[in-house]
Structure 1
Amino acid sequence: MTEIPDPTRGRPAGVLLAGIDRRAKEGFTGVLRADGPVSGIVVLREGKVVAAATPEAPGPEPLLLRSGRVAEADWTAAFAEGAPHGRLAEALVAHGALGALGVEVVAATALADAVFALALRGVQTCVAAPLDAAETGPLLFLDPGLAADDVVREAQRRLAMAAEWQERGLTSTAVPASAAAGSATDPLLAAVNGRRNVRGLAFALGRGLFATMRSLADLMDAGAVTVSAEPGQAGPPTSQDAPHEPAPPEGLPKRLRGASDVIRVLPFRPDR
């Protein structure tokens, strides 16, 4: 294993992004283990980024279940059938829970959000290791994967936006509170209770961390929300959010036919 030094001199986000860029140029297949205030992994195959996971950002399970996009019964059946064999994507499609394109959208969204979340909190070390078939890992993978340049560029774009929010006190650990009567039509504002932190809100609603922060910034602009630096609820139990599910036993799973076009447009197009 090789530890990737920080080439950015005091900019913790650069450790992870530099590691992704370096290993992609080497055509690396394996795992980057990121450690810092929070931990996580980024999985590459032949230089392409195919998955990422961290307890700091919702993965496919909360994104699908807590948002109500997939029924719990459908998820449970698909998970039991496909996850132990690295075929959860195929099982979700077979059970009619999602289409092939929908599965890939969720996988791409979770990947981008995990990289953003890790870089946002800061990575102190990034260690490259071969893919271990017996280790735990993300639930869904992209194939052929995303270009590292696109992943890094999107993370940098999100970090630049988040830097402005952080100057206003909006971080992943900040605790939003309603400053005015909430609208029943706004699920995020309705979930703001002065106890959950931003990360906890993302998990509770099944939304990406970045999307949650951006929406909260809009609510702050509208005078509907204020934020406090006091710690809030940490979110759902660790078993819900940690990247604990079994990795494919024979390398990374094959992609679903007809689903790859989404890689060109999601999640790396500018959000408007």
Structure 2
Amino acid sequence: MSLNDATNQPRARNLPALLSDLNDRRRSCTVAVSGAPGGTIHMRDGLVVAIETPGTPGIEALLLKSGRLTEQGWTSVRASDRSHEHLARELVAAELVGAGELEIVSLGALFDAAFVLSLHRPTDWEEGDPVPVLSAGTGVTPERLVAETTRRFDILAQAPGAIARSTRDRVHPTPAASQPRSTTLLSPRHRNLLAEVNGRRTPRDIAFTLGRGLFAVLLDLRHLRGRQLVEYTTPTAAGRPSTAPRTSTSSAKAPAPDTTGLPRRQPRRTRRQTASPDSAEHRP
């Protein structure tokens, strides 16, 4: 069932318009977004409470990889809530993570997923019934989600297509990265990230390896590139996903969200496009 077919309403021209309409109607549903990487938007009473996408770590990965939550604790909570409808509440009740910390991680994952989905235009979307999802907090309005996504693109100061390509490029350490004098003044966070740069991983791989959001990883890689410690290369097989292992090679733990669809505000975009072309050359 395509979105709006069941309600006999005109199809939204893009995802921001769709989410705004769902917000006006205080809808609780899921929106399955097709594309690269695609994902699922979870709505509750018209607010966006979570977005899941394979393009960036979700709440579970952020909690586990960062060391905030143990595998044993996570497995125990999942076993006690087979419907997975109250995972956030159970995590807090079991004192495995604080309520405030979980809400911050949940919001960060939401904004990061919206940013990742915005790197490509959606090919389609479909509305379905609400399903349980790990999230904390009351959710955010579509307007706030678009504003935060726009802010992130402005910070990176690149066209969406260029950023999209940079997430697929492999990151290599430069000869300077092996020189102690070049890394002495780096923060622990930057040193941890540099330790995971091996020439085979993409920024997306590194994000999953460290349990950090992709946007934060891109910012730190830009800092390292400015110090001439890393460089990018584009894979020869265009479009082939990276198969680099995501197991950390460092013993240190890094501290700690239209999505395919929530583009920067550009009023002239009035027609949904089915292709997902990149729009500019990558200049990291």
Pairwise TM-score range, normalised by the shorter structure: 0.7 to 0.9
Offset of residue 66 of structure 1: 1.0
**Alignment: residue pair count:** 225
Which residues of 2 match residues 189-200 of structure 1 at below 5 A?
189-200=194-205
Structure-2 separation of matches of 1:125 and 1:221 = 38
Identity %: 32
Match of 1:61 in 2: 60
Separation in 2, partners of 1:6, 1:109? 27
Q: Which digits, 9 at most, give the CA deviation of each residue in 1:111-134, with x for residues without a partner?
A: 111111111133222222332x5x
Contact 1:170 1:227 in 2 (8 A): no
> How far apart, in 2, do the equivalents of 1:20 and 1:98 lie?
31
Matches within 5 A, 1:214-253: 214-230=219-235, 232-233=242-243
Q: 1:235 Cα shift? A: 6.1
For normalisation by structure 2, the TM-score amounts to 0.71
Residue 206 (structure 1) aligns with: 211
Range 224-233 or range 44-53, more displaced: 224-233
> Are 2:30 and 1:31 aligned?
yes
Match of residue 97 from structure 1 = 96
TM-superposed CA distance for 1:153, in Å, is 0.8
Q: 2: CA distance between counterparts of 1:167 and 1:39?
A: 18
Q: Which runs of 5+ in 2 are unaligned?
A: 5-9, 236-240, 248-284
Report the counterpart of residue 172 of structure 1 in structure 2. Answer: 167
- Deviation of the 1:16 alpha carbon: 3.1
1:190-226 deviation per Cα after TM superposition (whole angstroms, max 9, x unaligned): 1000001111110000000111111111111221111
Superposed, 1:62-81 pairs within 5 Å as: 62-81=61-80
Note the C-alpha offset of 1:32.
1.4
Q: Structure 1 residue 100: deviation in Å?
A: 0.8
Q: 1:213 to 1:16 in 2, by over 3 A?
A: farther
Change (3 A) 1:83 1:57: farther
Cα deviation for residue 142 of structure 1 reads 3.6
1:79-129 CA-to-partner distances (Å, cap 9, x unmatched) read 222353412112212222211111111111111111111111332222223
TM-score by length of 1: 0.73
Task: Work out the CA distance in 2 between the residues paired with 1:6 and 1:147.
Answer: 17
The equivalent residue for 2:135 is: 141
Q: Greater CA deviation, 159-168 or 143-152?
A: 159-168
CA contact (8 A) 1:169 1:228 kept: no
- Superposed CA offset, 1:60-93 (max 9, x none): 1110111112222222222222353412112212
SS in 1 for 2:62: helix
Give the secondary structure class of the aligned counterpart of 1:80: helix
Distance in 1 of aligned mates of 2:222 and 2:92:
35
* Aligned twin of 1:2: 3
Take 2:107 and 2:164, find their aligned partners in 1: how far apart are those partners?
Answer: 28
- Letter in structure 1 aligned against 2:170: V
Deviation at 1:148, TM superposition (A): 1.6
